Structure 1
């Protein structure tokens, strides 16, 4: 009995010791992962709150009520978006200016090659899936809303892209983007929306004059010209690098500004749980009908999600492993906060500060890489968007009973790639880019009405894929550039040593001169 009691007391003491040993680990884990845990909880709470609010009233929620629910989310989004311009301009300028120009070219080439390759793969995958699954086959053509032509003209979109790359006023580029509009001849109206014209003048599609007879009017719309700012910042960084020592003080200012912007971003990120909860709840309240996710459009959503899943879980990690010889699991897990923010905001640009913070803080990617590569990736690397556009266009053709030729499918792939790359420079990027692809294969823009009801969900998924591609791209470029970065670091250390040596020699020379003067004076005395 005594032995049994002693054995029991030992086992109890062992359990208490193991609990004491485990509790600090749990405490450390929760402290380290507090923000991701709170963010995940906020997503579930947001869904629950939104569904609860939907069932509190039998009537549909109006815009004002939805605005109240999403108010804190709006503030969170505004804070994040407010950091986009400071981060892009300062980080691109400082990164390019502080790197050797030859190395900047190497890094830029590696990044752009990765972006183009992954985008092309995404488009091809989307085309293969949609032509294999046939989500639009067997649907009724009457389900589409028929209407007139679109006011979007593909040549104008393509020509507006270089116009925005080279803005005439860099200050204006911070809040306005150039857009070419078309005005029908002999019609004195302010609106250029063709559906409006058809309704007002009781016209048919045939009554409208050919598009080449319309007047062209250039103007600006409220939208940050990210492409123009990016090109200007890159040019400024190259110029400051060329100036050498003369440009160093201004480069230091941009570097300090970039670092300060990241500190502010860190503060904003801690507002993520509240902001994401508010955004998700307002989104759930705003949805008019969940039934559109079923049936024909549901098959379209499944096709897109299947493509996103394969590209995100197999293709991109495979490319990362192939180029870096490393497993991507920990790297991807550390990006969780960025993925959740991307899903909640549906904006790669708004997620940029969070992505940068995760890469530098958790994945230890060199800031010279992230602050150079990420802004470019956010602007031109849109794997999810390209995949979505390719699937959507062929799906809409299937719904209309049209069989696209191989030449048209190749055209879709090329145009989807171009449209996704140029999307950031176009106001209303997603819709306008999609209209551009539809126009190339001769489908009317009104067909978008079939899939626009599910775009709120698909947009969040494709944005998350865009962030994953940007993040893994930064990791790939960092691993491939490690030797080059080390060489630059060694060169800078040697330069610093030479400066210290020169200063030491200068001080020694002054001491020698002083000693000689003292000796001369003593002899004279």
Structure 2
């Protein structure tokens, strides 16, 4: 026994000398995937540009071959969205004490609505000040695929309809949306069109979030009676996270091919950028201000901690968000970075993030507002203060309703344009750079979610502490009783 302790003591001494070197190695080890993902993005762009310069026109089939591994990677990530969102929400809500979780939920939702609205207002201020669309009236509009008739009222009603799916299984695959058809060619008022409903193949995440929340609350209220069910969802969450860690291991390779194929798809980067440069710059500037000034300031004000350490710990998730352009697909990674690197309590992370990835889209909201006003400027449509307020409310609602998948913003864009009274085909103006902006705004969306969870965790320490304390006290009481029993025997 003595010899064993001596041996330990010697090892300790050696460790002390190697601390600096080990620190460096640990840092590299922890961030290997982040570095590899960022390298994947850069190398993918370089490969795309090199391949593009070798010949004029790449066929659709050739581009498909190049992006194939990326597509497979994205499919794997998307397959994890459903089990992850459902299991993480149910298990997080079921493990929170209801009287306390009400406060935590309130904080999370208050944060999401505030920052989303702030992002919209910021976008409007930027685009009105910079005026990127003024003097570009010669820009031709390309016909966009999505020219369905839509009114803001119907879109908002659809949002609520989708929150309460009539069939939970169907909600895993389909969303409902209103379809308006003209009763006769001479009827031009959209509000007099015939109303029908169609289901579109797109997971109804919002509905599933509501169902999962209800399920979690019910399990929490039943307590011991529903213990087995609670354990099932906890286990499902663990299994999903395990499989996710395997998939994430492939992310640098998948992202490399995704980005390369995307660059090849662009017609002519130079001419597009010269036409849309101001617009692109305005959106990026707005996103940078939101992500690196507004959110960090809010974080400092509410937690008194360094926001840039927080951001650097989220590096891997932000790089993956940029590569995949999907906040839902990045969710498993965001949860892992928050829990392992930023030390956020798992109950808060797994409760706040799935909801955040669905309703908190700062980047998308900012982009929707900028894009709508940019299109109005190009078309010389004057905007009064009332229209700007309408745009801000609609952009906030649209970003909540947008799915966490690549380029979902283009679909909700139609609803925002309708508010300003512009035809849906005008979306064609901005499609050329949308794929790239989509990646930037997704990175900001994910960052906003992470900051939200961090802030909610910090503000809820007291409530979470009470929970810890009560469970510690119970444990102590049990130990004490056992000890008394043993003594008595």
Q: When the two structures are superposed, what TM-score results if normalisation uses the length of structure 2?
A: 0.91
Instruction: Select which of 185, 200, 205 maps to 1:226.
Output: 205
Q: Aligned runs of 1:108-147 on 2, under 5 Å? A: 108-141=105-138, 143-145=140-142
Q: CA deviation at 1:427?
A: 11
Q: Residue 469 of structure 1 corresponds to which residue in structure 2?
A: 448
Offset at residue 168 of structure 1 (A): 0.8
Q: 1:164 to 1:504 in 2, by over 3 A?
A: farther
1:295 deviation in Å? Answer: 3.3
Q: CA deviation at 1:142?
A: 5.7
Give the SS at the match of 1:181: strand
Max radius of gyration: which structure?
1
- Of residues 31, 39, 42 in structure 2, which corresponds to 1:41? 39
Tell me, yes or no, if structure 1 residue 103 matches structure 2 residue 100. yes
Provide the residue aligned with 2:55 in structure 1.
57
Describe the superposition over 1:382-427 as per-residue Cα deviations: whole angstroms up to 9, x where unpaired: 1111111111111111111122011111111111111111223999
Aligned residues: 472
The structure-2 alpha-carbon separation of the partners of 1:24 and 1:424, relative to structure 1 and needing over 3 Å to count, comes to closer
Give me the whole-angstrom Cα distance separating, in 2, the residues matched to 1:37 and 1:428.
25
407, 412, 429: which is aligned to 1:433?
412
Q: 1:322 to 1:22 in 2, by over 3 A?
A: closer
2:402 corresponding residue in structure 1: 423
C-alpha deviation, 1:207, in angstroms:
4.9
Alignment correspondent of 1:164: 162
CA distance in 2, matches of 1:220, 1:207: 28
Contact 1:320 1:472 in 2 (8 A): yes
CA distance in 1, matches of 2:25, 2:175: 49
CA positional deviation for 1:32: 2.7
| C-alpha RMSD of the superposition | 2.5
Gaps of at least 5 residues in structure 1 are 1-18, 187-205, 512-525
CA distance in 1, matches of 2:24, 2:406: 47
- How has the CA–CA distance of structure 1 residues 305 and 239 changed in structure 2, closer, same or farther, with 3 Å as cutoff? same
Distance in 2, matches of 1:21 and 1:249, equals: 45
* Counterparts of 1:303 and 1:174, CA distance in 2: 36
Conserved? CA contact 1:382–1:420, under 8 Å: yes
Q: 1:343 aligns with which of 322, 345, 353?
A: 322
Structure 2 residue ranges without an equivalent (≥5): 1-16
CA distance in 2, matches of 1:506, 1:245: 26
The offset of 1:156, in angstroms, is 2.1
Cα–Cα, structure 1 residues 166 and 312, in superposed 2: closer, same or farther, change >3 Å? same
The change in CA–CA distance for 1:345 and 1:139 in structure 2 (over 3 A counts) is same
Q: Secondary structure at the match of 1:171?
A: helix
Match of 1:385 among 358, 364, 367: 364
CA distance in structure 1 between the partners assigned to 2:306 and 2:66 by the alignment: 41
Task: Evaluate the alpha carbon distance shift between residue 372 and residue 21 of structure 1 in structure 2; reply closer, same or farther with a 3 A threshold.
Answer: closer
Q: Does 1:240 align with 2:240?
A: no
In the alignment, does 2:68 pair up with 1:89?
Answer: no
In structure 1, what is the Cα distance between the partners aligned to 2:236 and 2:100?
23
Task: Specify which of 28, 32, 36 is matched with residue 30 of structure 2.
Answer: 32
**What is the rounded CA distance, in whole Å, between the counterparts of 1:20 and 1:164 in structure 2?**
57
Residues 135 and 296 of structure 1 are in contact (CA less than 8 Å); yes or no, is this contact kept in structure 2? no
Alpha-carbon shift at residue 499 of structure 1 (Å): 5.0
* CA separation of 1:427 and 1:260: change in aligned 2, threshold 3 A: closer
| Contact persistence 1:97–1:241 (CA under 8 A) | yes
* Residue among 375, 380, 384 paired with 1:405: 384
Contact 1:279 1:344 in 2 (8 A): yes
Rounded Cα–Cα distance in structure 2 between residues aligned with 1:427 and 1:460: 8
Greater shift after overlay, 305-314 or 143-152?
A: 143-152
CA–CA distance in 2 between the matches of 1:398 and 1:212?
A: 26
Shift of 1:155: 2.4
Q: Distance in 1 between matches of 2:480 and 2:221?
A: 25
Shift of 1:495: 3.0
Aligned pair partner of 2:257 in 274, 278, 292: 278
- Which residue matches 2:149? 151
Corresponding position: 1:333 with 2:312: yes
Task: Give me the TM-score of the superposition, normalised by structure 1.
Answer: 0.85
Counterpart Cα distance in 2 of 1:28 and 1:238: 40
Q: Distance in 1 between matches of 2:284 and 2:229?
A: 46
| CA offset digits 1:33-55 (Å, max 9, x no partner) | 22122222212221121112212
1:505/1:24 CA distance change after superposition, 3 Å: closer
Aligned equivalents of 1:367 and 1:146: distance in 2?
47
Relative to structure 1, the CA distance from residue 141 to residue 26 in structure 2 (aligned partners, 3 Å threshold; closer, same or farther) is same
Give the counterpart of 1:307 among 265, 286, 295: 286
